[in-house]
Amino acid sequence: MSENIAPSSQPSLDLTGLPYSPLATAFDEMLGSGGEVRPHWRAFADYFSRVSRDNLGQLRRDALRRLKEQGVNYHVYDDPQGMRRTWQLDPLPMVMSEADWSPIETGLQQRAHLFSRVLADLLGPQTCLKQGVLPPELVLQHPGFLRSMMGSAALPLSLFAADLARGPDGAWWVLADRTQGPSGAGYVLEARMVTKRVLSQNAVDYAIAPLAQFFYHFKRHVAALAPDQQKEPTIVLLSPGIGNEVYFEHAYLAAQLGITLVQGDDLTVRQGKVYLKTVDDLQQVDVIIRRVDDAFCDPLNFRADSMLGVPGLAQAQALGRVGMANPLGGGFLESPAMLPFLPALSKHFLAEELKLPNVATWWCGQEKELKHVLQNLDDLVIKTVDRHALVRFGPKMSARERDALKRRIQAEPWRYVGQELLSFSTTPTLVGSEIQPRHLVLRGFAAGDGEQYDVMPGGLTRVSPDAHTFLVSSQSGGWSKDTWLLKSSGSMRDVLRLSPTKQRRIASAVLTSRAAENLFWLARYLERTESLLRHIRAYVRRLENYIDYGFDTDKAVLEGMLPAVEAFCSLDREGLPTVEDLKQYVLDSSRIGGVAFNLRGAINSAYTVRDLWSGDCWRAVEELEELLEYSEKNRSVLALDQFIQPFLTALLAFLGASQESLALNQGGLWLQLGRRLERAQNTLSSTHKICAELNEDNEAGLREMLLEAHDCLSSHRRRYGTELPFYTLWKHLLLEPTNPRSLVYAVSELEPLLSYLNPTPQQGLIGLEKNVLAILTPLRLADAVEWRDLELTQTELAPFLQNLTQQLNQFGLNIEHQYFKHAQPLTRFMR
């Protein structure tokens, strides 16, 4: 096994004063067997020989910084950082020559074509089973074979991927095939941008085959799946959601392709057609790029406990009323048990020899192969026919583990395969500030129509976490690399021209009702957090004054202010809370309504609509998240005023960036609606609470604190001087149309936003317009003189505010019911 691999005695290349020696039992991508540098690596070898160790370390730091700034994440499930973990990219690419790549390209094209033919046959006539090319028990017993999809409309594999490794003899072998929703293509784009920026042209001047043409063809092939070829198809990318390990890629690809990112509950099937729930109405979906595994796609047909799929989706595909990339039923083809039969399948369907050989694989469902696996258990990799289940490395197992595994194989031999333990090739990898060999697996991609396929020039290279293991997996600590396919002529700046074939137009991306709802509540969470922080800051300033001087009037003001603070979150405490108490309430995410609680809700909403944000907006989200995590971690040593202002600054930065970059028809409308509605409600709630607490002992102090808590104290002084009579207070805070923080201003901002909403079939816009008019009219007709003293404030203003609160709450409910709900009408059976 790899633990016994010793450094080679072959000549080594001196890199920054350190030796780079290939492993004795592995093919090295850069150095030949005699230690000579392979021709396509010479520019890198020269670069390595003259770059300093410090510069090498800086490459890694620069790459991580760029990835973090762009929010490129990869969710490692057992990592404490979870889905916020920055994707691990080695800035040194894997380099390939055209001569090396050509057989891989033709092999991937043939393989994609073959799997597309096999899928159509297994869901249709099943000639390969009837003629004994493929054992029926391998197919029919496999948990991934979807019997309910048999007889459905034949759809091709639009996107195919294969994992390849080079053996000690220099030949490439296929380890696994990906036929459901192959991941990694989006990460290749990010890897290319980051790697080329970190390795400037002054470092290595290569002519690299560009990636744009592959994605052009992929989009063309996907659009061709639409059932109605006369219309501009609506294409969506179906994702499991933010908990998925590669959710970043789903959002990134949707944004790059200009299509809509959806989750299962964004779609509904009616009369055999798939519809997208938008804020306007249901919109028919023509093509789905599927990133949810087969079993989870339709709870009516497959796993009933799935919350990721769409009830009825299998029927829609079977009827041919939606294009699917890739079609349901393709997951079975990923089984490692298929590998031994691919040469015969290639002859059966294509009348060709298989061009890319598979790693030696034995399916235990056959007597001879079972005997071989049991006799050689110590030297094989054991897998189940379901690729998501057990993987065991024979040399790694104890005697007890081998005996237990042997009994399991003998009990159900058809469930297991044994594979040769291949010594993968190695490639130079940046480890800290050193360059060391690491085993690699290359994932290649092909996009096509079932017959003709276009192959991505390069792919995603993944490397092992250390030199003593062949387990190459991002979930297991491995790193990824860009793959540079070098062109024989031209400069690094040359790009391939896109095909002159006119690409079919597709419908523009639309905003789902789920995305609109997340934007709406994101804005509300942030506005609520801002209001709470301002109220706490005003309270703390008065509390510090009380601590310093002990005036009874300050205590009375603080007691009167508490209900306004508690309108946001329950303080759950008798008496005046201390500064330390407030800090705990602010930063304890388990306290409903607190700052941390609201920010967590906002950040989760932001992740859910990751595809909508510009780079600046996303960086603002990450800075807010980093500030929250830092404050929570250090809350025992930080003073309250050390994070209130940074929080406010970060909030305003994001709100400002989002308003400038997110157009109204792309989601900005819902951000603004949520923000204005929340500000109006917060102003009403805070003011109404304080009205009930006003008395002769605290009225002057509470009026000042109320203005301060709404960021109006300075503007009030500039307009009315330092005096704070009731008349000017209510005029400025509630009725002044030129004050951006006033109630009437916030509600007035709602009115023009309604004109951008499309009427719903059930309600139209008239109900919402009436809601706003019912709030604005009394505000515009009101005269602050009517609330000129304490008595009138409590007898006239308080019920006035209560009525406005009810009207505003109803407006919010109407928004939600009209634009965020698309319930299927109930069918009532008559007796």
Q: How is residue 270 annotated by DSSP?
A: E
- Is 735 part of any domain? yes
- Is 524 part of any domain? yes
- Is 653 part of any domain? yes
Tell me the percentage of the chain whose pLDDT exceeds 90. Answer: 66
pLDDT digits (tens, 9 = 90+) for 136-155: 999 999 988 999 899 887 88
| Lowest mean pLDDT, pick from 24-33, 352-361, 680-689 | 24-33
- Is 274 part of any domain? no
- Is 671 part of any domain? yes
| Lowest mean pLDDT, pick from 422-436, 478-492, 570-584, 754-768 | 754-768
- Is 394 part of any domain? no
Look at strands 159-166 and 434-448 and give their pairing: antiparallel
Asked if residue 7 has pLDDT above 50, the reply is no
- What's the rounded Cα separation, in Å, for the pair 171 and 61? 34
The values of phi and psi at residue 697, to 5°, are: -80, -25
Q: Residue 698's domain spans which residues?
A: 513-819
DSSP 348-365: HHHSS--SSPBPPEEETT
pLDDT for 41: 92
Residue 802 confidence class, pLDDT cut points 50, 70, 90 = very high
How many domains are contained in the chain? 1
pLDDT digits (tens, 9 = 90+) for 635-689: 888 888 888 999 999 999 999 898 888 988 889 999 999 999 999 999 999 999 9
The token pair at 419 is 């594979």
Q: How many CB atoms lie within 10 A of CB 408?
A: 15
Measuring CA to CA, which residue among 526, 518, 522, 474 is closest to residue 263?
518
- Is 538 part of any domain? yes
pLDDT for 766: 74
Residue 827 confidence class, pLDDT cut points 50, 70, 90 = very low
pLDDT for 18: 47
DSSP 711-755: T-HHHHHHHH-S---HHHHHIIIII-TT-TTSHHHHHHHHHHHGG
Long-range contacts from 698-702, C-beta under 8 angstroms, 24+ separation: 698/553, 698/556, 698/557, 698/559, 698/560, 699/790, 700/724, 701/542, 701/553, 701/554, 701/556, 701/557, 701/560, 702/557, 702/560, 702/561
Residue 482 confidence class, pLDDT cut points 50, 70, 90 = very high
How much of the chain is helix, strand and coil, in % rounded to 5? 50, 15, 35
pLDDT for 513: 92
Tell me the percentage of the chain whose pLDDT exceeds 70. Answer: 90
- Is 531 part of any domain? yes
Report the predicted TM-score, pTM, of the whole model to 2 decimal places: 0.89
Reduce the DSSP state of residue 658 to 3 states and report it: helix
| Interhelix angle 641-661/579-587, nearest 10 degrees | 40
pLDDT for 639: 86
